[in-house]
Amino acid sequence: MPYTPFHVLSFMFLYFKDKRHIDSLALAVSTTFIDLEPLYYILLGEPLDHRVWHGFTLALAIYPILVTIGVYILERLFNNKLLAFYKWAKLKPVKARYPLRNIYLLSLFGGFSHVVLDMFTHREMLWVLYPFMNGNPFYAWQASIMVEIVVIVLSIYSLNCWLKNREEKG
């Protein structure tokens, strides 16, 4: 199963390829915050931790709206602090405030990509296709291994892009 930081790291290369349109905050929040659900159930001691938020219904309908609102507000309230953080992290930002449309599209992408990666690696995701079907027809251990390999390769690629970005002048 891809650990939460790997969800964002797998796709961070997108930011380095197009900083004018890819909002790093929206990408990071949308690909990772959905895992607050399993954290909540793990803290409660529940055996089943990937529930309704790890299904396409909520991940594509409500989750992107919530992420969009949160990121939009954060970028407007903390623009200078975000720019300072991005510079400290050597992201070399073009800007810290993105249009609502960009944030929303990245939020859709983040929720979708998170569910897609997890549906192949978590047998217990019962709500992937809810309300049309219960259970996870996508899980297979072979697919799980392939997804893990793809996530590792994409993460290495993203780290490589980040290192190249740090070395560039400007």
Number of domains in the chain: 1
**Helices within 90-168 (DSSP H only):** 100-119, 141-167
- φ, ψ of residue 44 in degrees (nearest 5): -75, -15
Residue written as token pair 């810290």: 96
Listed in sequence order, the residues at least 6 apart from 132 whose beta carbon sits closer than 8 Å to its beta carbon are none
15 in Cβ contact with 24 (< 8 Å): yes
Give the model confidence (pLDDT) of 77-111 as tens digits.
999 999 999 999 999 999 999 999 999 999 999 99
Q: What is the mean pLDDT of residues 53-61?
A: 95
Range of the domain at 144: 4-167
User: What confidence score (pLDDT) does residue 1 get?
Assistant: 59
Instruction: Report CA torsion sign: 34, 60, 58, 104.
Output: positive
pTM of the model: 0.92
Residue 36 reports pLDDT greater than 90: yes
- φ, ψ of residue 20 in degrees (nearest 5): -70, -25
**CA nearest neighbour of 92 among 1, 14, 165, 2:** 165
Give the model confidence (pLDDT) of 116-158 as tens digits.
999 999 988 999 998 889 899 999 999 999 999 999 999 999 9
65 in Cβ contact with 105 (< 8 Å): no
